[in-house]
Structure 1
């Protein structure tokens, strides 16, 4: 059985998701990072793109983000970004479409 960790995806205007997960995958400016419980502490810059999370209840979601930061320490993963959109259908293209729409509505896209 996989060990769980606490994960938080936070955009500038809201907490997008918070809960327990077994795996987090994301792109940093230095390459891909995969995080599981008991990972070495890390602080890195996230590249715009996809965040993929496997939840503790065998669920799965993806989010489109516009970059940001990832912090990993003591079985807590924090993903901080300006804008993020979540797709509970695990469909990155849908999450990206939602993010693009949000940015256009803000006049930034």
Structure 2
């Protein structure tokens, strides 16, 4: 399967922009696992951790986020967070 293009952005900076295997986002309705080919989707975020899996079976890289939203579109997954810390 092709990689998912993922961007994590705050008002201050671009935190990450990379092609990854999967990202799990902390939505207000629950956690959502996003992979390449996912249907268009949007959710607001709760405070929590975004888990980035660079390859299948890898340990996730975790980045704490507060507020914001996540959107899946043709170009991949974009997370716009109020703040983010590794």
What TM-score do the two structures reach when normalised by structure 2? Answer: 0.89
Rounded to whole Å, the distance in 1 between the matches of 2:4 and 2:26 is 19
Could you tell me which residue of structure 1 aligns to residue 54 of structure 2?
55
Distance 1:39 1:32 in 2: 15
1:82 offset after TM fit, Å? Answer: 1.2
Q: RCO (CA 8 Å, sep 6+): is it higher in 1 or 2?
A: 2
* Whole-angstrom distance in 2 between the partners of 1:77 and 1:85: 18
Partner of 2:38: 39
TM-score, length of structure 1 as denominator length:
0.71
**Structure 1 residue 51, shift from structure 2 partner:** 0.3
d(CA) in 1 for partners of 2:30, 2:45? 9
Taking only aligned residues, the RMSD between alpha carbons, in angstroms, comes to 1.7
CA contact under 8 A between 1:39 and 1:75: conserved in structure 2?
no
SS of residue matched to 2:36: coil
Q: Counterpart in 2 of 1:98?
A: none
Q: Which residue matches 1:67?
A: 67
Q: Give the distance between the partners of 1:22 and 1:3, measured in 2 at CA.
A: 8
Structure 2 portions without partners, runs of 5+: none
> Do the aligned partners of 1:45 and 1:67 also contact (CA within 8 Å) in 2?
yes
Larger relative helix fraction:
1
Structure number having the greater strand percentage:
2
